[in-house]
Amino acid sequence: MLALTGATGFFGSHFLAAYLTAHPRARIIVLGRDAPRRTRDRLHTALRATGRPLDSTHLQRVTPLRINLADECLGLDSRAYTALADRITALCHFAGHIGLDAPLDVLRTVNVTGTAHLLHLARAAGPRLSFLHISTAYVAGTRRCGTAPEAIIRPPEGFLSPYEESKYEAECLVHQYAARTGRLAVIARPSLLVTDRPQQPGAPQSPLRRLGAGAANVQRISTRAGERGLCNPECPVTARIPGAPHATLNLLQVEHAAQAAVHLSRCTSRRRGSAKVVHLVHPHQVAIPALLDALTTAHLPGLRLTLTAQVTDPTPLEKLLQHMSQGAHLYTHLNRRYDRTQYLRHLRQLPDPPDLTPAYLLRAFAPPGSTAPPRPLAHPRSERNGSTHADHPTPLRQAIEERDRPHRRATRPGPAPPPATSERRCP
pLDDT digits (tens, 9 = 90+) for 340-380: 999 999 999 999 999 999 999 999 998 665 443 333 323 33
pLDDT tens digit string along 144-158? Answer: 899 999 999 999 889
Point out which residues pair with 193 in neighbouring strands.
252
pLDDT tens digit string along 63-105? Answer: 999 999 999 999 999 999 999 999 999 999 999 999 888 999 9
Radius of gyration of the chain (CA): 23
For residues 396 and 412, what is the distance between their CA atoms, to the nearest angstrom? Answer: 11
pLDDT tens digit string along 118-152? Answer: 999 999 998 889 999 999 999 998 888 999 999 99
Mean pLDDT of 240-250: 94
Angle at CA 289, nearest 5°, toward 102 and 220? 65
For residues 285 and 214, what is the distance between their CA atoms, to the nearest angstrom? Answer: 24
For residues 252 and 250, what is the distance between their CA atoms, to the nearest angstrom? Answer: 7
**313: alpha, beta or left, given left = phi > 0 and alpha = psi -120 to 50?**
left
pLDDT tens digit string along 10-23? Answer: 999 999 999 999 99
For residues 5 and 92, what is the distance between their CA atoms, to the nearest angstrom? Answer: 7
Mean pLDDT of 24-35: 95
Residue 270 predicted with pLDDT over 90: no
Angle at CA 158, nearest 5°, toward 112 and 261? 50
Tell me phi and psi for residue 271, to 5 degrees.
-90, 100
Can you give the pLDDT at residue 398? 52
Residue 414 predicted with pLDDT over 60: no
For residues 281 and 145, what is the distance between their CA atoms, to the nearest angstrom? Answer: 16
* Average pLDDT score, the chain: 84
Mean pLDDT of 305-325: 88
Give span(s): CATH 3.40.50.720, the chain: 2-194+250-280
DSSP-derived pairing of the beta strands 192-194 and 286-287: unpaired
Can you give the pLDDT at residue 374? 35
Mean pLDDT of 246-259: 97
Residue 387 predicted with pLDDT over 50: no
Can you give the pLDDT at residue 373? 39
Give this prediction's pTM: 0.85
Q: Of 53-67, 180-194, 219-233, 289-303, where does mean pLDDT reach its minimum? A: 219-233
Domain 2-194+250-280, CATH among 3.40.50.720, 1.10.10.350, 3.10.200.10, 3.30.460.10: 3.40.50.720
